Structure 1
Protein backbone atom coordinates (compact mmCIF):
# COMPACT_ATOMS: atom_id res chain seq x y z
CA UNK A 1 0.00 0.00 0.00
CA UNK A 2 1.30 3.44 -0.92
CA UNK A 3 2.30 6.09 1.61
CA UNK A 4 -0.64 8.29 0.56
CA UNK A 5 -3.05 5.42 1.23
CA UNK A 6 -1.50 4.91 4.66
CA UNK A 7 -2.31 8.54 5.46
CA UNK A 8 -5.93 8.59 4.29
CA UNK A 9 -8.96 9.54 6.38
CA UNK A 10 -11.96 9.55 4.08
CA UNK A 11 -15.69 9.20 4.70
CA UNK A 12 -17.99 7.78 2.02
CA UNK A 13 -21.78 7.75 2.26
CA UNK A 14 -23.54 4.68 0.85
CA UNK A 15 -26.94 5.15 2.51
CA UNK A 16 -28.27 8.33 4.13
CA UNK A 17 -31.96 7.66 4.86
CA UNK A 18 -33.71 6.67 8.05
CA UNK A 19 -36.69 4.43 8.82
CA UNK A 20 -37.18 2.77 5.43
CA UNK A 21 -35.58 2.76 1.99
CA UNK A 22 -37.37 5.13 -0.38
CA UNK A 23 -36.18 4.77 -3.98
CA UNK A 24 -38.02 6.76 -6.61
CA UNK A 25 -38.04 9.76 -8.89
CA UNK A 26 -38.19 12.25 -6.02
CA UNK A 27 -35.16 10.91 -4.14
CA UNK A 28 -32.65 10.51 -6.95
CA UNK A 29 -30.23 13.28 -5.94
CA UNK A 30 -29.89 12.39 -2.27
CA UNK A 31 -30.58 8.69 -2.59
CA UNK A 32 -33.08 6.31 -1.04
CA UNK A 33 -30.90 3.74 0.76
CA UNK A 34 -30.79 3.53 4.53
CA UNK A 35 -27.83 4.13 6.82
CA UNK A 36 -24.36 2.96 5.82
CA UNK A 37 -21.11 4.91 6.02
CA UNK A 38 -17.63 3.72 5.10
CA UNK A 39 -14.48 5.27 6.56
CA UNK A 40 -10.96 4.56 5.33
CA UNK A 41 -8.70 5.47 8.21
CA UNK A 42 -5.01 4.86 7.63
CA UNK A 43 -4.84 1.22 6.54
CA UNK A 44 -8.18 0.29 8.14
CA UNK A 45 -11.65 0.06 6.63
CA UNK A 46 -14.45 0.92 9.05
CA UNK A 47 -18.14 0.53 8.18
CA UNK A 48 -20.89 2.07 10.27
CA UNK A 49 -24.35 0.49 10.13
CA UNK A 50 -25.73 -2.04 7.70
CA UNK A 51 -28.83 -0.47 6.19
CA UNK A 52 -29.67 -1.05 2.55
CA UNK A 53 -26.67 1.09 1.59
CA UNK A 54 -24.48 -1.82 2.74
CA UNK A 55 -25.61 -3.84 -0.26
CA UNK A 56 -24.34 -1.12 -2.61
CA UNK A 57 -21.04 -0.90 -0.73
CA UNK A 58 -20.73 -4.66 -0.98
CA UNK A 59 -21.01 -4.58 -4.76
CA UNK A 60 -18.21 -2.03 -4.87
CA UNK A 61 -15.99 -4.15 -2.64
CA UNK A 62 -16.29 -7.20 -4.90
CA UNK A 63 -13.63 -5.67 -7.14
CA UNK A 64 -11.22 -5.31 -4.18
CA UNK A 65 -11.06 -8.86 -2.80
CA UNK A 66 -9.94 -10.07 -0.35
CA UNK A 67 -11.57 -7.59 2.04
CA UNK A 68 -10.97 -7.01 5.73
CA UNK A 69 -13.22 -4.52 7.52
CA UNK A 70 -14.57 -3.52 10.90
CA UNK A 71 -18.37 -3.21 10.94
CA UNK A 72 -19.97 -1.15 13.73
CA UNK A 73 -23.70 -1.14 14.44
CA UNK A 74 -25.41 1.68 16.29
CA UNK A 75 -28.41 -0.57 17.03
CA UNK A 76 -30.55 -3.21 15.37
CA UNK A 77 -33.59 -1.38 14.04
CA UNK A 78 -34.41 -2.53 10.52
CA UNK A 79 -33.08 0.52 8.72
CA UNK A 80 -29.64 -0.18 10.19
CA UNK A 81 -29.33 -3.94 9.65
CA UNK A 82 -31.50 -4.83 6.65
CA UNK A 83 -28.66 -4.63 4.15
CA UNK A 84 -26.54 -7.19 5.98
CA UNK A 85 -28.16 -10.31 4.44
CA UNK A 86 -27.43 -8.81 1.00
CA UNK A 87 -23.79 -7.91 1.74
CA UNK A 88 -22.15 -10.07 -0.91
CA UNK A 89 -18.55 -9.95 0.44
CA UNK A 90 -19.78 -11.71 3.59
CA UNK A 91 -20.50 -14.79 1.47
CA UNK A 92 -16.96 -14.91 0.06
CA UNK A 93 -14.31 -17.06 1.81
CA UNK A 94 -11.01 -15.34 2.72
CA UNK A 95 -12.80 -12.07 3.51
CA UNK A 96 -12.73 -11.10 7.18
CA UNK A 97 -15.19 -8.94 9.11
CA UNK A 98 -14.91 -7.81 12.71
CA UNK A 99 -18.45 -6.94 13.84
CA UNK A 100 -19.24 -4.74 16.84
CA UNK A 101 -22.43 -3.80 18.66
CA UNK A 102 -23.78 -3.28 22.15
CA UNK A 103 -25.86 -5.87 23.97
CA UNK A 104 -29.50 -4.79 23.75
CA UNK A 105 -31.57 -4.10 26.89
CA UNK A 106 -33.26 -7.51 26.39
CA UNK A 107 -29.84 -9.21 26.56
CA UNK A 108 -29.46 -10.07 22.87
CA UNK A 109 -26.05 -9.62 21.26
CA UNK A 110 -25.35 -8.11 17.86
CA UNK A 111 -24.63 -11.61 16.55
CA UNK A 112 -28.00 -12.87 17.78
CA UNK A 113 -29.87 -9.96 16.23
CA UNK A 114 -28.19 -10.33 12.84
CA UNK A 115 -28.78 -14.08 13.00
CA UNK A 116 -32.46 -13.70 13.89
CA UNK A 117 -33.32 -11.48 10.93
CA UNK A 118 -31.98 -14.20 8.61
CA UNK A 119 -34.05 -17.04 10.08
CA UNK A 120 -37.19 -18.47 8.48
CA UNK A 121 -39.72 -17.09 7.77
CA UNK A 122 -37.90 -13.76 7.53
CA UNK A 123 -35.15 -14.81 5.11
CA UNK A 124 -34.32 -17.96 3.11
CA UNK A 125 -30.56 -18.11 3.79
CA UNK A 126 -29.19 -18.33 7.36
CA UNK A 127 -26.22 -16.32 8.59
CA UNK A 128 -24.22 -19.55 8.91
CA UNK A 129 -24.18 -19.83 5.10
CA UNK A 130 -21.98 -16.75 4.86
CA UNK A 131 -18.50 -17.96 3.97
CA UNK A 132 -16.38 -15.06 5.21
CA UNK A 133 -14.63 -15.11 8.55
CA UNK A 134 -16.82 -13.14 10.97
CA UNK A 135 -15.73 -12.29 14.49
CA UNK A 136 -18.31 -10.67 16.78
CA UNK A 137 -17.57 -8.31 19.66
CA UNK A 138 -19.96 -7.02 22.30
CA UNK A 139 -19.37 -3.35 23.13
CA UNK A 140 -19.73 -1.98 26.62
CA UNK A 141 -21.15 1.45 25.88
CA UNK A 142 -18.62 4.04 27.02
CA UNK A 143 -15.56 1.93 26.29
CA UNK A 144 -12.82 2.93 23.83
CA UNK A 145 -11.69 0.48 21.16
CA UNK A 146 -8.19 0.38 19.68
CA UNK A 147 -8.07 -0.79 16.07
CA UNK A 148 -5.06 -1.37 13.88
CA UNK A 149 -2.35 1.27 13.76
CA UNK A 150 -3.53 4.00 16.11
CA UNK A 151 -7.24 4.14 15.26
CA UNK A 152 -9.24 4.86 18.41
CA UNK A 153 -13.03 4.45 18.46
CA UNK A 154 -14.87 6.04 21.38
CA UNK A 155 -18.46 5.13 22.21
CA UNK A 156 -21.35 6.76 24.07
CA UNK A 157 -25.01 6.04 24.75
CA UNK A 158 -27.54 7.86 22.57
CA UNK A 159 -31.14 8.77 23.43
CA UNK A 160 -33.10 6.31 21.29
CA UNK A 161 -35.84 3.74 22.02
CA UNK A 162 -34.11 0.45 22.80
CA UNK A 163 -30.76 2.28 23.04
CA UNK A 164 -28.21 3.14 20.36
CA UNK A 165 -24.46 3.70 20.32
CA UNK A 166 -22.72 6.82 19.03
CA UNK A 167 -19.16 6.59 17.71
CA UNK A 168 -16.17 8.91 17.50
CA UNK A 169 -13.23 7.87 15.32
CA UNK A 170 -9.84 9.38 16.20
CA UNK A 171 -6.66 9.01 14.17
CA UNK A 172 -3.54 11.05 13.55
CA UNK A 173 -5.02 14.17 15.14
CA UNK A 174 -8.31 13.97 13.20
CA UNK A 175 -11.75 13.05 14.48
CA UNK A 176 -15.12 12.18 12.96
CA UNK A 177 -18.29 11.68 15.03
CA UNK A 178 -21.16 9.48 13.89
CA UNK A 179 -24.26 10.33 15.93
CA UNK A 180 -27.32 8.44 14.68
CA UNK A 181 -30.01 7.65 15.98
CA UNK A 182 -30.57 10.11 18.80
CA UNK A 183 -33.23 12.47 20.15
CA UNK A 184 -32.29 15.78 21.73
CA UNK A 185 -33.36 16.73 25.24
CA UNK A 186 -35.80 19.61 25.76
CA UNK A 187 -33.83 21.13 28.64
CA UNK A 188 -30.34 21.30 27.13
CA UNK A 189 -27.78 19.57 24.96
CA UNK A 190 -26.93 15.91 25.50
CA UNK A 191 -23.55 15.55 27.26
CA UNK A 192 -22.91 12.25 25.49
CA UNK A 193 -23.41 13.86 22.09
CA UNK A 194 -21.17 16.78 23.03
CA UNK A 195 -18.51 14.31 24.16
CA UNK A 196 -18.54 12.52 20.82
CA UNK A 197 -18.64 15.76 18.82
CA UNK A 198 -16.01 17.77 20.73
CA UNK A 199 -13.72 19.64 18.33
CA UNK A 200 -14.50 17.09 15.62
CA UNK A 201 -13.43 17.68 12.04
CA UNK A 202 -16.75 16.18 10.95
CA UNK A 203 -20.00 15.61 12.85
CA UNK A 204 -22.53 13.34 11.14
CA UNK A 205 -25.80 13.97 12.97
CA UNK A 206 -29.30 12.49 12.95
CA UNK A 207 -31.44 15.42 11.77
CA UNK A 208 -34.46 13.44 10.60
CA UNK A 209 -36.97 16.20 11.25
CA UNK A 210 -37.39 19.94 11.24
CA UNK A 211 -38.43 21.68 14.46
CA UNK A 212 -41.84 22.30 12.90
CA UNK A 213 -42.36 18.58 12.31
CA UNK A 214 -40.92 17.54 15.64
CA UNK A 215 -43.14 19.85 17.70
CA UNK A 216 -46.25 19.61 15.50
CA UNK A 217 -49.49 19.48 17.51
CA UNK A 218 -51.08 17.10 15.01
CA UNK A 219 -48.16 14.80 14.14
CA UNK A 220 -45.64 15.28 16.94
CA UNK A 221 -42.42 13.28 16.68
CA UNK A 222 -41.48 13.73 20.34
CA UNK A 223 -40.35 10.37 21.70
CA UNK A 224 -39.64 8.83 18.30
CA UNK A 225 -35.88 8.84 18.89
CA UNK A 226 -34.69 11.36 16.32
CA UNK A 227 -33.55 14.97 16.24
CA UNK A 228 -33.80 18.05 14.01
CA UNK A 229 -31.44 20.10 11.89
CA UNK A 230 -31.89 23.05 14.25
CA UNK A 231 -30.57 20.93 17.12
CA UNK A 232 -27.72 19.72 14.90
CA UNK A 233 -26.59 23.33 14.47
CA UNK A 234 -26.73 23.90 18.24
CA UNK A 235 -24.55 20.85 18.86
CA UNK A 236 -22.06 21.77 16.12
CA UNK A 237 -21.60 25.27 17.53
CA UNK A 238 -21.39 24.17 21.16
CA UNK A 239 -18.89 21.39 20.38
CA UNK A 240 -16.71 23.56 18.10
CA UNK A 241 -17.27 21.24 15.15
CA UNK A 242 -15.48 22.13 11.93
CA UNK A 243 -17.96 20.56 9.49
CA UNK A 244 -21.56 19.45 10.05
CA UNK A 245 -23.23 16.75 7.95
CA UNK A 246 -27.03 16.46 8.12
CA UNK A 247 -27.90 12.75 8.01
CA UNK A 248 -30.66 10.13 8.42
CA UNK A 249 -33.14 11.94 6.17
CA UNK A 250 -36.84 11.22 6.68
CA UNK A 251 -38.21 9.07 3.81
CA UNK A 252 -40.96 11.69 3.28
CA UNK A 253 -38.39 14.39 2.53
CA UNK A 254 -37.85 14.54 -1.23
CA UNK A 255 -34.91 16.14 -3.02
CA UNK A 256 -36.48 19.59 -3.22
CA UNK A 257 -37.34 19.56 0.48
CA UNK A 258 -33.76 18.56 1.39
CA UNK A 259 -32.42 21.34 -0.85
CA UNK A 260 -34.41 23.82 1.24
CA UNK A 261 -33.16 22.30 4.49
CA UNK A 262 -29.60 22.52 3.24
CA UNK A 263 -30.01 26.22 2.48
CA UNK A 264 -31.41 26.88 5.96
CA UNK A 265 -28.64 24.92 7.67
CA UNK A 266 -25.97 26.76 5.69
CA UNK A 267 -27.35 30.10 6.81
CA UNK A 268 -26.80 29.13 10.46
CA UNK A 269 -23.70 26.96 10.04
CA UNK A 270 -21.89 27.78 6.78
CA UNK A 271 -19.52 24.81 6.82
CA UNK A 272 -22.28 22.23 6.48
CA UNK A 273 -23.32 19.51 4.04
CA UNK A 274 -26.43 17.48 3.35
CA UNK A 275 -25.56 13.79 3.30
CA UNK A 276 -26.26 12.13 -0.04
CA UNK A 277 -25.33 8.81 -1.56
CA UNK A 278 -21.92 9.01 -3.20
CA UNK A 279 -20.70 11.92 -1.09
CA UNK A 280 -17.06 11.59 -0.04
CA UNK A 281 -15.28 13.74 2.52
CA UNK A 282 -11.49 13.73 2.63
CA UNK A 283 -10.05 14.91 5.93
CA UNK A 284 -6.42 14.68 4.86
CA UNK A 285 -5.29 16.53 1.76
CA UNK A 286 -2.88 14.63 -0.53
CA UNK A 287 0.09 16.78 0.51
CA UNK A 288 -0.68 16.61 4.24
CA UNK A 289 0.61 13.76 6.40
CA UNK A 290 0.55 15.06 9.97
CA UNK A 291 -1.50 17.35 12.15
CA UNK A 292 -1.32 18.36 15.84
CA UNK A 293 -3.43 16.23 18.16
CA UNK A 294 -6.93 17.43 19.07
CA UNK A 295 -7.57 18.33 22.69
Structure 2
Protein backbone atom coordinates (compact mmCIF):
# COMPACT_ATOMS: atom_id res chain seq x y z
CA UNK A 1 0.00 0.00 0.00
CA UNK A 2 1.17 3.52 -0.78
CA UNK A 3 2.27 5.76 2.06
CA UNK A 4 -0.43 8.17 3.18
CA UNK A 5 -0.83 11.80 2.34
CA UNK A 6 -0.13 13.60 5.62
CA UNK A 7 -1.33 17.00 6.78
CA UNK A 8 0.62 18.59 9.64
CA UNK A 9 -0.35 21.84 11.36
CA UNK A 10 2.48 24.16 12.43
CA UNK A 11 0.48 27.36 12.92
CA UNK A 12 -3.30 27.67 13.27
CA UNK A 13 -4.00 31.25 14.47
CA UNK A 14 -5.00 34.27 12.45
CA UNK A 15 -4.11 37.96 12.55
CA UNK A 16 -1.28 37.95 15.10
CA UNK A 17 0.71 35.43 17.15
CA UNK A 18 -0.72 34.97 20.62
CA UNK A 19 1.63 32.89 22.80
CA UNK A 20 0.76 32.41 26.44
CA UNK A 21 -0.76 30.16 29.05
CA UNK A 22 -4.23 30.66 27.55
CA UNK A 23 -3.26 29.22 24.12
CA UNK A 24 -1.14 26.21 25.11
CA UNK A 25 -3.50 23.49 23.87
CA UNK A 26 -4.21 24.91 20.42
CA UNK A 27 -1.10 27.01 19.91
CA UNK A 28 -0.41 30.66 19.17
CA UNK A 29 1.49 30.62 15.85
CA UNK A 30 0.02 32.05 12.67
CA UNK A 31 -0.83 29.92 9.62
CA UNK A 32 1.44 27.23 8.27
CA UNK A 33 0.26 23.81 7.06
CA UNK A 34 2.58 21.13 5.67
CA UNK A 35 1.35 18.40 3.33
CA UNK A 36 3.51 15.47 2.25
CA UNK A 37 2.47 13.13 -0.55
CA UNK A 38 4.33 10.89 -2.97
CA UNK A 39 7.66 12.06 -1.57
CA UNK A 40 6.86 15.76 -2.13
CA UNK A 41 6.68 18.40 0.60
CA UNK A 42 4.12 21.18 0.10
CA UNK A 43 3.81 24.05 2.57
CA UNK A 44 0.79 26.34 2.68
CA UNK A 45 1.39 29.85 4.03
CA UNK A 46 4.36 31.22 5.89
CA UNK A 47 3.10 32.57 9.19
CA UNK A 48 5.12 32.16 12.37
CA UNK A 49 4.43 28.43 12.25
CA UNK A 50 6.90 28.31 9.35
CA UNK A 51 9.71 29.18 11.74
CA UNK A 52 8.90 26.13 13.86
CA UNK A 53 8.69 23.90 10.80
CA UNK A 54 12.05 25.27 9.67
CA UNK A 55 13.67 24.27 12.94
CA UNK A 56 12.44 20.69 12.43
CA UNK A 57 13.67 20.61 8.82
CA UNK A 58 17.21 21.59 9.82
CA UNK A 59 17.69 17.97 10.89
CA UNK A 60 16.75 16.69 7.41
CA UNK A 61 19.05 18.68 5.08
CA UNK A 62 19.15 19.03 2.14
CA UNK A 63 15.54 20.08 1.68
CA UNK A 64 13.36 20.62 -1.37
CA UNK A 65 9.88 22.00 -0.79
CA UNK A 66 7.06 23.84 -2.53
CA UNK A 67 5.66 26.84 -0.63
CA UNK A 68 2.22 28.17 -1.58
CA UNK A 69 0.85 31.46 -0.25
CA UNK A 70 -2.87 32.16 -0.03
CA UNK A 71 -2.13 35.90 0.07
CA UNK A 72 0.45 38.20 1.61
CA UNK A 73 -1.17 39.76 4.65
CA UNK A 74 1.32 39.98 7.49
CA UNK A 75 0.14 36.96 9.45
CA UNK A 76 0.72 34.70 6.43
CA UNK A 77 4.25 35.83 5.54
CA UNK A 78 5.83 36.94 8.82
CA UNK A 79 7.53 33.60 9.44
CA UNK A 80 9.40 33.59 6.14
CA UNK A 81 12.32 35.82 7.26
CA UNK A 82 12.90 33.34 10.13
CA UNK A 83 12.72 30.17 7.99
CA UNK A 84 16.18 28.76 8.68
CA UNK A 85 16.45 26.27 5.77
CA UNK A 86 16.07 29.13 3.27
CA UNK A 87 19.42 30.50 4.45
CA UNK A 88 21.29 27.23 3.83
CA UNK A 89 22.98 26.60 0.46
CA UNK A 90 21.91 23.34 -1.15
CA UNK A 91 18.27 23.67 -0.14
CA UNK A 92 15.72 24.38 -2.89
CA UNK A 93 12.35 26.09 -2.52
CA UNK A 94 9.69 26.70 -5.15
CA UNK A 95 7.50 29.59 -4.03
CA UNK A 96 4.03 30.22 -5.52
CA UNK A 97 1.25 32.78 -5.21
CA UNK A 98 -1.29 34.67 -7.28
CA UNK A 99 -0.19 38.33 -7.53
CA UNK A 100 -2.24 40.69 -5.35
CA UNK A 101 -4.69 43.28 -6.64
CA UNK A 102 -1.84 45.75 -7.08
CA UNK A 103 -0.03 43.25 -9.32
CA UNK A 104 2.91 42.73 -6.99
CA UNK A 105 4.53 39.32 -7.29
CA UNK A 106 5.21 37.05 -4.35
CA UNK A 107 8.92 37.71 -4.80
CA UNK A 108 8.36 41.46 -4.46
CA UNK A 109 6.15 41.09 -1.39
CA UNK A 110 8.57 38.79 0.44
CA UNK A 111 11.48 41.03 -0.55
CA UNK A 112 9.76 44.20 0.69
CA UNK A 113 9.01 42.86 4.16
CA UNK A 114 12.73 42.23 4.65
CA UNK A 115 13.81 45.78 3.79
CA UNK A 116 14.74 48.48 6.29
CA UNK A 117 13.18 49.62 8.55
CA UNK A 118 11.25 46.36 8.91
CA UNK A 119 14.10 43.85 8.96
CA UNK A 120 17.89 43.93 9.39
CA UNK A 121 18.94 41.75 6.42
CA UNK A 122 17.52 41.50 2.88
CA UNK A 123 15.97 38.48 1.22
CA UNK A 124 19.04 38.21 -1.01
CA UNK A 125 21.12 37.01 1.96
CA UNK A 126 19.21 33.73 1.90
CA UNK A 127 21.62 31.12 0.60
CA UNK A 128 19.04 28.58 -0.51
CA UNK A 129 17.87 28.30 -4.10
CA UNK A 130 14.59 30.27 -4.20
CA UNK A 131 12.47 29.88 -7.33
CA UNK A 132 9.45 32.20 -7.53
CA UNK A 133 6.33 31.42 -9.55
CA UNK A 134 3.34 33.69 -10.18
CA UNK A 135 0.11 31.73 -10.50
CA UNK A 136 -3.10 32.64 -12.31
CA UNK A 137 -6.46 32.39 -10.57
CA UNK A 138 -7.95 28.99 -11.32
CA UNK A 139 -4.63 27.48 -12.35
CA UNK A 140 -3.82 23.86 -11.63
CA UNK A 141 -0.34 22.34 -11.61
CA UNK A 142 1.19 18.96 -10.91
CA UNK A 143 4.16 18.34 -8.65
CA UNK A 144 5.38 14.77 -8.83
CA UNK A 145 1.90 13.42 -9.40
CA UNK A 146 0.30 15.65 -6.75
CA UNK A 147 -2.24 18.12 -8.16
CA UNK A 148 -2.54 21.62 -6.68
CA UNK A 149 -5.39 23.84 -7.91
CA UNK A 150 -6.44 27.28 -6.71
CA UNK A 151 -9.60 29.34 -6.67
CA UNK A 152 -10.21 32.97 -5.76
CA UNK A 153 -11.75 33.62 -2.33
CA UNK A 154 -13.43 36.64 -0.77
CA UNK A 155 -10.77 38.57 1.15
CA UNK A 156 -9.70 42.24 1.19
CA UNK A 157 -6.84 42.68 -1.26
CA UNK A 158 -7.51 39.30 -2.83
CA UNK A 159 -6.58 35.77 -1.89
CA UNK A 160 -6.88 32.18 -3.03
CA UNK A 161 -7.51 28.79 -1.53
CA UNK A 162 -6.01 25.52 -2.69
CA UNK A 163 -7.15 21.97 -3.37
CA UNK A 164 -4.51 19.25 -3.13
CA UNK A 165 -5.31 15.91 -4.77
CA UNK A 166 -3.36 12.67 -5.01
CA UNK A 167 -4.34 9.07 -5.69
CA UNK A 168 -8.03 9.69 -5.09
CA UNK A 169 -7.74 11.69 -1.85
CA UNK A 170 -8.06 15.44 -1.54
CA UNK A 171 -7.50 18.26 0.94
CA UNK A 172 -9.00 21.72 0.56
CA UNK A 173 -7.27 24.69 2.18
CA UNK A 174 -9.91 27.43 2.36
CA UNK A 175 -8.61 30.13 4.65
CA UNK A 176 -8.96 33.90 4.80
CA UNK A 177 -12.32 34.11 3.13
CA UNK A 178 -15.55 35.83 4.06
CA UNK A 179 -18.74 33.91 3.40
CA UNK A 180 -21.47 35.37 1.22
CA UNK A 181 -24.83 36.23 2.76
CA UNK A 182 -27.15 34.90 0.09
CA UNK A 183 -25.23 31.92 -1.26
CA UNK A 184 -22.21 29.72 -0.80
CA UNK A 185 -19.10 31.23 -2.33
CA UNK A 186 -18.55 29.41 -5.65
CA UNK A 187 -14.75 29.31 -5.33
CA UNK A 188 -14.91 27.88 -1.82
CA UNK A 189 -17.45 25.30 -2.95
CA UNK A 190 -15.32 24.20 -5.88
CA UNK A 191 -12.31 23.73 -3.62
CA UNK A 192 -14.27 21.87 -0.98
CA UNK A 193 -16.53 19.66 -3.09
CA UNK A 194 -16.35 16.08 -1.78
CA UNK A 195 -12.91 16.64 -0.28
CA UNK A 196 -11.64 14.22 2.35
CA UNK A 197 -10.50 17.12 4.53
CA UNK A 198 -11.56 20.76 4.39
CA UNK A 199 -9.46 23.24 6.36
CA UNK A 200 -11.63 26.33 6.74
CA UNK A 201 -11.35 29.88 8.07
CA UNK A 202 -13.51 29.84 11.22
CA UNK A 203 -12.14 33.01 12.80
CA UNK A 204 -15.42 34.17 14.32
CA UNK A 205 -18.68 32.91 15.69
CA UNK A 206 -21.89 34.12 14.05
CA UNK A 207 -22.50 36.29 17.12
CA UNK A 208 -19.11 38.01 16.78
CA UNK A 209 -19.47 38.44 13.05
CA UNK A 210 -22.80 40.27 13.36
CA UNK A 211 -22.16 41.93 16.72
CA UNK A 212 -24.15 45.21 16.86
CA UNK A 213 -21.35 47.18 18.57
CA UNK A 214 -18.34 45.73 16.74
CA UNK A 215 -19.41 44.06 13.52
CA UNK A 216 -16.78 42.01 11.67
CA UNK A 217 -18.63 42.25 8.36
CA UNK A 218 -16.15 43.15 5.65
CA UNK A 219 -13.09 42.05 7.63
CA UNK A 220 -12.51 39.09 5.31
CA UNK A 221 -13.18 36.13 7.60
CA UNK A 222 -15.86 33.56 8.24
CA UNK A 223 -17.43 31.64 11.13
CA UNK A 224 -17.59 28.05 12.29
CA UNK A 225 -21.32 28.01 11.54
CA UNK A 226 -20.61 28.92 7.91
CA UNK A 227 -17.90 26.23 7.87
CA UNK A 228 -20.54 23.67 8.80
CA UNK A 229 -22.88 25.01 6.12
CA UNK A 230 -20.21 24.65 3.44
CA UNK A 231 -19.11 21.22 4.68
CA UNK A 232 -22.66 19.93 4.39
CA UNK A 233 -23.32 21.46 0.99
CA UNK A 234 -19.98 20.30 -0.43
CA UNK A 235 -20.25 16.78 1.09
CA UNK A 236 -16.97 17.12 2.94
CA UNK A 237 -15.83 14.07 4.89
CA UNK A 238 -13.82 15.88 7.60
CA UNK A 239 -14.05 19.54 8.62
CA UNK A 240 -11.06 21.20 10.29
CA UNK A 241 -11.73 24.62 11.84
CA UNK A 242 -8.70 26.87 11.33
CA UNK A 243 -7.36 30.45 11.59
CA UNK A 244 -8.54 30.84 15.19
CA UNK A 245 -9.05 34.38 16.41
CA UNK A 246 -6.21 35.46 18.76
CA UNK A 247 -8.79 36.44 21.40
CA UNK A 248 -10.21 32.91 21.53
CA UNK A 249 -8.46 31.08 24.36
CA UNK A 250 -8.27 27.31 24.74
CA UNK A 251 -11.48 27.04 26.76
CA UNK A 252 -13.39 29.13 24.23
CA UNK A 253 -12.15 26.92 21.39
CA UNK A 254 -13.11 23.81 23.35
CA UNK A 255 -16.66 25.14 23.51
CA UNK A 256 -16.70 25.92 19.80
CA UNK A 257 -15.59 22.34 19.18
CA UNK A 258 -18.47 20.96 21.22
CA UNK A 259 -21.04 23.09 19.40
CA UNK A 260 -19.56 22.44 15.97
CA UNK A 261 -19.52 18.66 16.44
CA UNK A 262 -23.17 18.77 17.46
CA UNK A 263 -23.92 20.44 14.14
CA UNK A 264 -21.44 18.41 12.04
CA UNK A 265 -20.00 15.39 13.89
CA UNK A 266 -16.96 15.07 11.60
CA UNK A 267 -15.46 18.32 12.92
CA UNK A 268 -12.16 18.90 14.65
CA UNK A 269 -10.28 22.06 15.53
CA UNK A 270 -6.82 22.62 14.12
CA UNK A 271 -4.09 22.72 16.73
CA UNK A 272 -0.33 22.88 16.45
CA UNK A 273 1.15 19.41 16.08
CA UNK A 274 -1.98 17.75 14.75
CA UNK A 275 -1.25 15.24 11.97
CA UNK A 276 -3.95 13.83 9.67
CA UNK A 277 -3.24 10.83 7.45
CA UNK A 278 -5.21 10.09 4.28
CA UNK A 279 -4.69 6.70 2.69
CA UNK A 280 -5.04 6.51 -1.10
CA UNK A 281 -7.28 4.17 -3.07
CA UNK A 282 -9.56 3.40 -0.13
CA UNK A 283 -13.10 4.42 0.65
CA UNK A 284 -12.22 5.73 4.10
CA UNK A 285 -9.46 7.81 5.60
CA UNK A 286 -7.94 7.53 9.03
CA UNK A 287 -7.25 10.53 11.20
CA UNK A 288 -5.05 9.42 14.09
CA UNK A 289 -4.87 11.39 17.32
CA UNK A 290 -1.24 12.12 16.67
CA UNK A 291 0.73 15.18 17.69
CA UNK A 292 4.34 16.08 16.92
Confirm or deny a common fold (TM above 0.5): yes
Deviations 1:84-141 (A, max 9, x none): 0000000001100000001111110000000000001100010000000010000101
2:166 is matched with 171
CA RMSD of aligned residues (A): 0.9
2:142 is matched with 146
1:72 is matched with 68
> What is the rounded CA distance, in whole Å, between the counterparts of 1:291 and 1:138 in structure 2?
34
State whether structure 2 residue 288 is matched by structure 1 residue 273: no
Shift of the alpha carbon at 1:145? 1.0
1:44 is matched with 40
> What is the rounded CA distance, in whole Å, between the counterparts of 1:19 and 1:103 in structure 2?
20
* TM-score, normalised relative to structure 2: 0.96
Shift of the alpha carbon at 1:8? 2.5
2:290 is matched with none
> What is the rounded CA distance, in whole Å, between the counterparts of 1:145 and 1:22 in structure 2?
35
Matches within 5 A, 1:178-189: 178-189=173-184
State whether structure 2 residue 256 is matched by structure 1 residue 261: yes
Shift of the alpha carbon at 1:146? 1.1
**SS of match in other structure, 1:70:** strand
> What is the rounded CA distance, in whole Å, between the counterparts of 2:19 and 2:6 in structure 1?
26
* TM-score, normalised relative to structure 1: 0.95
In the alignment, is the contact (CA less than 8 A) between 1:207 and 1:248 conserved in 2? yes
State whether structure 2 residue 33 is matched by structure 1 residue 29: no
State whether structure 2 residue 281 is matched by structure 1 residue 290: yes
Equivalent of 2:119 in 114, 119, 123: 123
Shift of the alpha carbon at 1:169? 0.2
State whether structure 2 residue 154 is matched by structure 1 residue 159: yes
2:99 is matched with 103
Equivalent of 1:224 in 219, 223, 236: 219
State whether structure 2 residue 186 is matched by structure 1 residue 191: yes
> What is the rounded CA distance, in whole Å, between the counterparts of 1:154 and 1:7 in structure 2?
22
In the alignment, is the contact (CA less than 8 A) between 1:52 and 1:83 conserved in 2? yes
Structure 2 stretches lacking a partner, 5+ long? 284-292
1:244 is matched with 239
> What is the rounded CA distance, in whole Å, between the counterparts of 1:107 and 1:190 in structure 2?
24
> What is the rounded CA distance, in whole Å, between the counterparts of 2:21 and 2:58 in structure 1?
28
State whether structure 2 residue 198 is matched by structure 1 residue 207: no
> What is the rounded CA distance, in whole Å, between the counterparts of 1:7 and 1:262 in structure 2?
30
Shift of the alpha carbon at 1:188? 1.0
Shift of the alpha carbon at 1:226? 0.1
In the alignment, is the contact (CA less than 8 A) between 1:157 and 1:192 conserved in 2? yes
**SS of match in other structure, 1:209:** coil
In the alignment, is the contact (CA less than 8 A) between 1:204 and 1:245 conserved in 2? yes
> What is the rounded CA distance, in whole Å, between the counterparts of 2:230 and 2:173 in structure 1?
13
Aligned length: 283
